[in-house]
Structure 1
Amino acid sequence: MSLPPGFLDELRGRLSLSQVVGRKVMWDSRKSNQGKGDMWAPCPFHQEKTASFHVDDRKGFYYCFGCHEKGDAIGFVMATENLSFIEAVKLLADEAGMQMPDRDPRAAERAEMRDTLVDVMEAAQRFYQMQLAGGGGAAARRYLEGRGLDRAAQERWGLGFAPEAWEALREHLVGKGIAVEKLVEAGLAKTSQKGKAPYDTFRNRIMYPIRDARGRCIAFGGRAMDPDDNAKYLNSPETPLFDKGRTLYNIGPARAAAGKAQLIVAEGYMDVIALAEAGFAATVAPLGTAITEDQLRLMWRISPEPIIALDGDAAGQRAALRALDLALPLIEAGQSLRFCLMPKGKDPDDVLKDGGAPAMQKLLDAAQPMVDLLWKSETEGRDLATPEARAALDKSLRQRLGRIADPSLKRHYGDAIKERRWQLFNPRKPRSTWQPGRGRVAPQIPATTTRASVLVAGGEAVEQGLREQVVLAILLRFGGLVARVEDALGSVDFRGDGHAGLLRAILSADGLPVDERDVAIARDAPSGALEKLQSAGHLRVVPALKVNDPDLAAVCLGEELAKMLAAQGAAREIAEAMEDFAQETSESLTWRLGQVAFARDQAQSGQAEDTAEYEEAPNGVKMSRAERNALDGLLDKIGLSGHSKKK
């Protein structure tokens, strides 16, 4: 059975050789480097105790330094499974999710035609290179030299020049015995609408040969020398050789270099060349369009976390956001992107000219992960002063995170976003202090023993845990309240055993149908957390859990959250006062610490000055005026103003 052109190349590109081989060997963890695709194991083809069998995942080949067996994924399956070539291809195609082509008696003929087109493209590349070196290419040479590419660099990259004449390439190749029809099929010539002979596709342009992973010329990119040309850059049309959405410029050399360097994805040909010439050899670029899903998968086949290096203009930022949205449904554990935006108005070539390779490396080292770009894209330049604006932000973030397919990764992204949200809406500004001889210095980070001291936590730890259980039990039973109190939940620190993890599971399942929600929470909650909550005896006397009244549940939920927030604020105030106290003893700090402790004791005992106006809350607990005000404020936020007096 003959296979169509490109099928095996695509199959090899989709496969991970280390995964195929990993079914038959035990990797040597001390010698292997999974991040670089450099894997070692005892050879499956001969008996040995040392790891002399080497898999280069990026290049897609294996080699044993003991018995000298070598090959690719297809060869490995043939040898280890005792299969024929076609049988091995079928097995791997199923694994890669590719449909085996139907039997085609003309496949061999098309393969031969494809090889012929490669010969035509190579002949055209030699012609363009010759034109660049001649008198007609003087202006193009000056342009390239002005971009920092001397004659040696021009030859290394196979750069050329297409003359301004309409038939120069056609006449040259026809004179070599190549049919005009082949030029049209290869995208080198276009048919005339006026019945005239085909004319050259590229004219008066600097030519960049585009090669596949095997190093064969399959297309060209041309930069116009005329500044008034309608198209500054022009790529070959799609042909039997060239699919621009599945190809990356410089893919072959970059794949070879990626074993020792980070893969960089630039915007265009000159960026790739400039970076590679400066020592960043593992650099590729899409071909004149936004990054496609196939190109993303090709990048991840080379490196688990490519760096997308884009120009620092508005177009570069838009390209970054398009790549982010494309990647969100595809990312997995250990498979992501980082983004490196150049300074405003500059591209990588400009950065290299101004500061050389060290300046570029500094920017690459500071490349931001996807979660940072996601957060920045949703919050930058956005007025978030009103509850409505914050609710809109939360909705937009939930929609973006909902596109992540991997459940575990989605939870981690959710945790990271909540942390950033807390930092945005609840900034903690550390106070500096004056010390003789040192001036104004930042406060020391409080020790763990200070944070957990009896003065700060005291007997409140048990009470905190009980309140957390009430909140979690209400949220589990009345799922519709989750979205209404999500802001307040993000401000509370759940410390009970398994409580924070159970809360994350509840938040992650918000919006799902009831049955699916219960399954998702049970699956994602920490081991034993649900069982422990359900066995808590004090929950049986909570009014909100004895009847099916969502409004009563909301009021009780609001009350518990208000008290937790108040207690948490008091504990933080005490801790900060103790930090200041440790640095500079003064009567004012002593007084401040005493006042906080006194206020806390009053809140716990219900003996505040306004006790004349305390009343019974829906759960039977008496509340002072201060506590009532805190509760009413929270209920206003969740849309239940006026319900706090419901009996």
Structure 2
Amino acid sequence: MSLPPGFLDELRTRTSLAQVVGRKVLWDNRKSNQGQGDWWAPCPFHQEKSASFHVKDREGYYYCFGCHAKGDAISFVRETENVGFMEAIEILATEAGMQMPARDPRAQEKADERSELADVMEAAVRFYRLSLKTNAATQARAYLAKRGLSEADQDRFDIGFAPEGNALIGHLTGQGVSMDKLLASGLAAKPDDGRSPYDRFRGRIMFPIRNAQGRCISFGGRSMDPEARAKYLNGNETILFDKGRSLYNHGPARVACGKGQPLIVAEGYMDVIALSLAGFEATVAPLGTAVTETQLQLLWRISPEPIIALDGDKAGIRAALRVIDLALPMLAPGQSLRFAVLPEGLDPDDLIKAKGAQAMQEVIEGARPLIDLLWNREVEGKVFDSPERKAGLEKALREATARIEDRLLREHYEAEIKQKLWQFFRQKPQAQGAGANGQGGKRPFTPQSTFGAGGKGRFGKFVPPAVPTPEAMASALVGGDAAYADYLREAVILATLLVTPQVILSFLAPLEGLDLTTDDHRAILSSLLRHAEEEDAEALRAQVLQDVGAVALEKLMSLSHVTIAPPVRKPGNAEMAQQCVSEELAKLRAERGHRSELAVALDSIREDQGDDEGLTWRLGQSAEALGRATRSEAEDTAEYDFGKNGAPMRRNERNALDTLLSNISLSKRK
């Protein structure tokens, strides 16, 4: 049914998310701040003892730092009560004292029809299940046994068998099901020439396709006849089933993902079953088609970063590239895809049988971000031995990133692409000639350019240094390895929180939004936030050790920068820890903001033919913020120089800038 404009807004206004969630959880009063509408509890969607489930009552949304479940009051009722959208609306409206709008008679009639067809589908499931145990299904049972599926496995997925002939029609019509319903459900088909209807599925192993609520909406059938026109056949589209809007194993995968498993997208029914039986229960598959926009949205509702698992053959790679083009306009901060490519010639079932579940786990853990596949698509197997070809590469990548609609994310992609291009074209050359590859001078391009970063080329001609990207120039201007400096600051913050956990709750907001440099640091921070209410340092260390492992923890605590940090040398000193974390967070923000300003200003300088007026002004503005965070450095005026317009700059920045601007000017004249 449709809802009148404003109904949902009023419902959300009248509904207290804390009250809705409070029926299912026990609040942690030590961590919660009732006056600010800030509530914490153990997550109702996965098993845990710590309070990692965060409810912001005033904003009306929740988020779990353990299983990443998120949503509003409507989604919470849907997930915990296992009801549909309209049913959740009715529950909340009743509690809020709001009267539901009158139902459209036509909509009610359609809902009743859907319910009746769902009952027909369940009757078909039972028939196919029984048919699998008959003599007619001997070959089908042998096939399933060969694939390693026990009877218990078959029961778990309701696998059945469709006999030859019109056995299903005869069975269901004998139980009073009309032919109209059999045709409407897609179980029967009617020839165009006017002949009698027939069973759509015959001589096939049957896989029920269920929606997120567990109702059977269609079937997929694998033929036992090697000469069949289609090895796999899905049901036709009906009022129950739209294959572009459905996922195989949707409901069980959503539950498993809510318990912390990564969401995996496989290619077919048997892949899903093999992965699920091997412990990867959060696995789904599209239904005989390439992934659609709607299916991507369904995936992102389950997990912010699904892993697309593809066979390592050409077809699998082509499928990945199609998904990239589809996904680019839909990407958003915290909403992307990763790609796990299996060894060539193996599907998930083959890999698990040959090398065990651990081999599959390694493939999943090695999943690559979308930007890596986008980059590889444009460079692999191509030669970039001329300015025109290099410009063509940059243009193709720019056109791809331009399709990202979210501005902030698009800027991050553009910055990453610029960095990749800079690294790609700045490497030293390999030996030239035909000896290495038999292709003469036309060798496949490797991440190495023809000339070095200046000096003489092959023919003795001077080649000016390549102009680096603004990001690389910004890193050069601030001096040293900026990423490593960030890494050390992060390490001090994490180690301080680990040895003095009673201060963690004071920094929840900035820590939740902290962008860390390594996976180890991200894992440690996630663990600290999950156990933020734990004030005993030894108990917290044990929890973090269990979450991230000994290697990551030992690596953190053994850094010399960490071992000499005062709050780490004096664990338990809350005042010292509070001051240290506050200062380090401020420095991180200031340094990163300063580098961002440098990158933006340098980009504009390159476009403005080397005039540094705007650059020094931008640097002066960001230097003020940086000086406030690193006061001891800012007070030393001897370290500062001034641009044409009087804006302050660090002296090392001024000197490096002059050199870089000269290189830019020289390159442009060439």
Q: State the TM bucket, normalised to the shorter chain.
A: 0.5 to 0.7
Partner Cα distance (2:328, 2:107) in 1: 38
Offset at 1:206? 0.9
**Residues 175 and 35 of structure 1: is their aligned pair in 2 closer, same or farther, counting only changes over 3 Å?**
closer
Q: Is the 8 A contact 1:245 1:294 kept in 2?
A: yes
Deviation at 1:494, TM superposition (A): 4.8
Instruction: Report how far residue 80 of structure 1 moved.
Output: 7.2
> Does the alignment pair 1:281 with 2:281?
yes
Letter in 2 for 1:130: L
Query: Alpha-carbon deviations, 1:55-75, whole Å to 9, x = none?
Result: 96489435999xxxxx98536
Does the CA-based 8 Å contact 2:337-2:370 persist in structure 1? yes
- CA distance in structure 1 between the aligned counterparts of 2:197 and 2:330, rounded to whole angstroms: 43
Distance 2:194 2:90 in 1: 51
1:495 to 468, 477, 480: 477
CA distance in 2, matches of 1:248, 1:391: 41
Q: State how 1:416-435 maps to structure 2 within 5 Å.
A: 416-427=416-427
What whole-Å deviation, never above 9, does each CA across 1:90-136 have from its counterpart, x for those lacking one?
xxxxxxxxxxxx97322222211111111111111111111111100
Question: Pairwise mapping of residues 338-349 of structure 1 onto structure 2 (< 5 A)?
Answer: 338-349=338-349
Partners of 2:173 and 2:179 within 8 A in 1: yes
Q: Aligned pair 1:225/2:224, yes or no?
A: yes
Partner of residue 161, structure 1: 161
Alignment of 1:511-526 (within 5 A): none
Partners of 1:499 and 1:211 lie apart in 2 by 52
1:418 shift after superposition: 2.3
Alignment match, 2:182:
183
**Secondary structure of the structure 2 residue equivalent to 1:61:** helix
Q: Equivalent residue for 2:251?
A: 252
- CA, structure 1 residues 42+189, in 2 after alignment: closer, same or farther (shift >3 Å)? closer
- Equivalent position of 1:365 in the other structure: 365
2:316 and 2:131 map into 1 onto residues whose CA distance is: 34
On the 8 A contact 1:39/1:57 being kept in 2, the answer is: no
Please tell me whether the aligned partners of residues 266 and 309 of structure 1 are also in contact (alpha carbons under 8 angstroms): yes
Alignment match, 2:89: 74
Q: Deviations over 1:144-180 (max 9, x none)?
A: 1111111221121111111122x22111111111111
Q: What are the Cα deviations for residues 390-427 of structure 1, in whole angstroms up to 9, with x where unaligned?
A: 11111011111111122221222222222222322223
Q: Is 2:85 aligned against 1:85?
A: no
TM-score (norm 1): 0.61
Contact 1:501 1:526 in 2 (8 A): no
Partner residue in 2 for 1:202: 201
Retained in 1: the 8 A contact 2:268–2:286? Answer: yes
Distance 1:390 1:174, change over 3 A: same
Q: Deviations over 1:407-464 (max 9, x none)?
A: 22122222222222232222389xxxxxxxxxxxxxxxxxxxxxxxxxxxxxxxxxxx
Q: CA deviation at 1:228?
A: 1.5
The structure whose RCO (Cα within 8 Å, separation 6+) is larger is 2
CA–CA distance in structure 2, aligned partners of residues 405 and 57 of structure 1: 23
Q: Residue 471 of structure 1 corresponds to which residue in structure 2?
A: none
Task: State how far apart, in whole Å, the 1-side matches of 2:225 and 2:620 are.
Answer: 68
Residue 336 of structure 1 deviates from its aligned partner by 1.2
SS of 1:258 mapped into structure 2: helix
* Local SS of the residue matching 2:477: coil
Specify the alignment match of 2:621 in structure 1. Answer: 528
- 8 Å CA contact retained: 2:137, 2:161: yes
Partner of residue 391, structure 1: 391
- What's the offset of the Cα at 1:347? 0.8
Does structure 2 conserve the Cα–Cα contact (< 8 Å) formed by 1:305 and 1:335? Answer: yes
The 1:563–1:527 alpha-carbon spacing in structure 2 relative to 1, beyond 3 Å, is closer
Give, in whole Å, the separation in 2 of the partners of 1:31 and 1:152: 33
User: Structure 1 residue 321 and structure 2 residue 324: aligned?
Assistant: no
Q: Is the 8 A contact 1:121 1:218 kept in 2?
A: yes
Give the whole-Å Cα distance in 2 for the aligned partners of 1:405 and 1:143: 47
Output the CA distance in 2 between the equivalents of 1:218 and 1:405. Answer: 34
- Three-state SS of the structure 1 residue aligned to 2:331 is coil
CA–CA distance in structure 2, aligned partners of residues 322 and 286 of structure 1: 14
Letter in 1 for 2:296: L
**Percent sequence identity over aligned pairs:** 47
How many residue pairs get aligned? The number is 453
Partner Cα separation in structure 2 for residue 63 and residue 242 of structure 1: 21
TM-aligned CA distance change 1:179 to 1:350, over 3 Å: same
- Alignment partners' CA distance in 2, 1:500 and 1:364: 34
- Residue matched to 2:403: 403
Which residue of the partner structure matches residue 448 of structure 2?
none
Q: C-alpha separation between the residues in 2 aligned to 1:27 and 1:207? A: 49
Query: Which residue in the other structure is 1:350 paired with?
Result: 350
* Cα shift at 1:205: 1.1
Quick check: 2:598–2:619 contact (8 Å CA) kept in 1? no
Which structure: larger Rg? Answer: 1
Alignment CA distance shift 1:505-1:114 (3 Å): same
Supply the AA of the counterpart residue of 1:312.
Answer: G
Aligned residue type for 1:251:
H
The 3-state SS of whatever aligns with 2:213 is coil
CA apart distance, 1:343: 0.6
Distance 1:347 1:42, change over 3 A: closer
Looking at structure 2, the residues matched to 526 and 206 of structure 1 have their Cα atoms a distance apart, in angstroms, of 68
In structure 1, stretches of 5+ residues that fail to align are 46-50, 66-70, 87-101, 430-484, 515-520, 542-557, 566-630, 642-647
Letter of the 2:242 counterpart: D
- Deviation at 1:489? 5.5
Q: 1:85-164 residue pairs with structure 2 within 5 A?
A: 85-86=100-101, 104-164=104-164
Looking at structure 2, the residues matched to 57 and 322 of structure 1 have their Cα atoms a distance apart, in angstroms, of 28
| Alpha-carbon displacement from aligned partner over 1:236-265 (angstroms, at most 9, x marks no partner) | 011010011111100111111112211111
C-alpha separation between the residues in 2 aligned to 1:321 and 1:540? 49
Residues 208-240 of structure 1 show CA distances to partners (whole Å, capped at 9, x for unaligned) of 000111111110001111111111111001101
Aligned partner of 2:37 in structure 1 is: 26
Matched, 1:299 2:299: yes
TM-score, normalised with respect to structure 2: 0.59
- Pair 1:344–1:499, CA change in 2 (3 A): same
Distance 1:350 1:55, change over 3 A: closer
